[in-house]
Amino acid sequence: MSLNIIILAAGKGKRMHSSLPKVMHKVGGKSMLEHVLISAKKLNPSSINVVLSPKIESIKKSFGGYDIAWHSQSEQKGTADAVKIVLPSLKEDEKVLILYADTPLIDSDLLDKFINYMPKSDVKVLTVNLQKPFGYGRIIREQAEVEIISKIIEETEADDLQKNIKECNTGIIFSDVSTLNSLISEVKNDNSKKEFYLTDIVSIANLKNMMVVPLLSKETNSLLGVNDKLQLEETEQIYQSNNRKKFLRQGVTMLDSKSVFFKGDVEIGEDVEIEANVIFEGNVKLGDKVQIKSNTIIKNSVISSGTEVKPYTIIEDSLVGKNCNIGPFARIRPNCTLEESVGIGNFVEVKASNIKKNTKANHLTYLGDSDIGENVNVGAGVITCNYDGVNKHKTVIKDNVFIGSDSQLIAPIIVEEGVTIAAGSTITDNSEKDSLLIARSRQQEKKNWKR
């Protein structure tokens, strides 16, 4: 079976009250459209087709990593019109799965089950029972054959009796290209919105004696659509709850799971402990026996086994080695690599630097654009002065260097192996191995001084 997926993403999203396109609003750190694309890709389709409004075509550049056939719906004439735009690019005998970009929690396993359910049917519709069905199209089943849908009635067109129906249309439809072409060609826009509703193909199919069958999903959360910020927040909470439960079942210890947030793809090893108010963003990997203390943010980083990240620490786009101690109140800025047993203490900032094993910077320090060797001790208040107002420059500190407190290293500079720098020094020149560097004004004493 050659499967093609159509994702409808051209909706205006007026109820979001935002200049950001509706499908670009994020759930769990990813846009709603990307969530749907990820689920679609897992089905291994021949093509993924996304229908956009010309007004939001600028979002295409955000999805360069996906193989997408983009289609433009110049006028918002309804869902049937959106699907009709794509069909000419597909072969008549191929299968089509229609999805929506505003259902970010859609599950690929459910979609696979739906595709393979009752293969002899002409059209399949995924449905769900909702206790609060307002806004959803209602499923009208045949009285004689409950496994056949006779029509789908939109909320705006439903009477009071139909509005009491709990079974709702998710909008997800499976059929073949030739059938969809035949049905959509007969869809009219004689409704209150003057739109061409895709749901009208159900009643048209019945008139043609075609079999339209529903798959009633027991899972409701994964099928919820997002039309406003309230539903966006509800969907975010479901997403977070799902992730928390997943990691708790995997054995992760959380002090307060409701205060831990996952905004990307996170991988966590064994015996990991996470305290309260922690945020993971982007691609994050935690090794075994990692401890993440309270009020910490980790973004696009790897934290290797045995490392402790203490409270109020931020780590971005970096690699932290095994058995390190980071924080509290530390900031690891992008492009840092910390090797095994590195210590970065309170109010220390590291940026675009490589720090080798057993090196310590425990207090009030800035290390930027630096290569630092093994067993280096960086005293309190040390600054690598990497920026001259125009360009950034490199500081190289080799193995076994001791840097006294309140010293400044004016880059570009190389501090050779075994050098000791006296506290309060401003180092401007390269040095020889195993030297003692003292670069400070000589103290003067004026006896019997009077103000």
pLDDT, one tens digit per residue, over 259-318 is: 999 999 999 999 999 999 999 999 999 999 999 999 999 999 999 999 999 999 999 999
DSSP 57: G
Higher-confidence residue of 419 and 120: namely 419
Q: How confident is the model at residue 126 (pLDDT cuts 50, 70, 90)?
A: very high
State residue 143's pLDDT score: 60
Choose, from 17, 25, 35, 363, the residue flagged as catalytic. Answer: 363
Q: What is the mean pLDDT of the chain?
A: 95
Domain coordinates of the chain in residue numbers?
3-223, 229-437
Asked if 3-223 and 229-437 have one fold, the answer is no
Cis peptide before 334 (omega within 30 of 0): no
354 by Cβ neighbours in 10 Å (0-12 / 13-18 / 19+) ranks as: middle
Q: Encode 257-277: b = buried (16+ Cβ within 10 Å), e = exposed.
A: bebbbbbeebebbeebebbbb
Q: How confident is the model at residue 35 (pLDDT cuts 50, 70, 90)?
A: very high
Judge whether residue 144 has pLDDT over 60.
Answer: no
DSSP 42: T
CATH superfamily to which 229-437 belongs: Hexapeptide repeat proteins (2.160.10.10)
Q: How confident is the model at residue 147 (pLDDT cuts 50, 70, 90)?
A: confident
Distance of CA 311 to the CA centre of its chain: 24
For residue 8, what are its two tokens? Answer: 């409808």
- Is residue 363 part of the annotated active site? The answer reads yes
Judge whether residue 252 has pLDDT over 80.
Answer: yes
Give the model confidence (pLDDT) of 158-188 as tens digits.
999 999 999 999 999 999 999 999 999 999 9
Judge whether residue 141 has pLDDT over 90.
Answer: no
Following DSSP, what letter does each residue of 377-413 receive, concatenated? EE-TT-EEE-B-SS-B--EEE-TT-EE-TT-EEESSE
Contact 298, 292 (CB under 8 A): yes
Higher-confidence residue of 197 and 192: namely 197
Give the model confidence (pLDDT) of 57-113 as tens digits.
999 999 999 999 999 999 889 999 999 999 999 999 999 999 999 999 999 999 999
Give mean pLDDT, residues 366-395.
97
Judge whether residue 32 has pLDDT over 90.
Answer: yes
The pTM score is 0.91
Instruction: List 211's β-bridge partners, or say none.
Output: none
State residue 192's pLDDT score: 82
CB atoms under 10 Å from CB of 125, counted, come to 26
CATH architecture of 3-223: Alpha-Beta Complex (3.90)
Q: Which of 118-132, 327-341, 399-413, 414-428 has the lowest mean pLDDT?
A: 118-132
Q: Encode 174-212: b = buried (16+ Cβ within 10 Å), e = exposed.
A: bbbbebbbbbbeebeeeeeeebbbbbbbbbbbbeeebbb
State residue 19's pLDDT score: 94
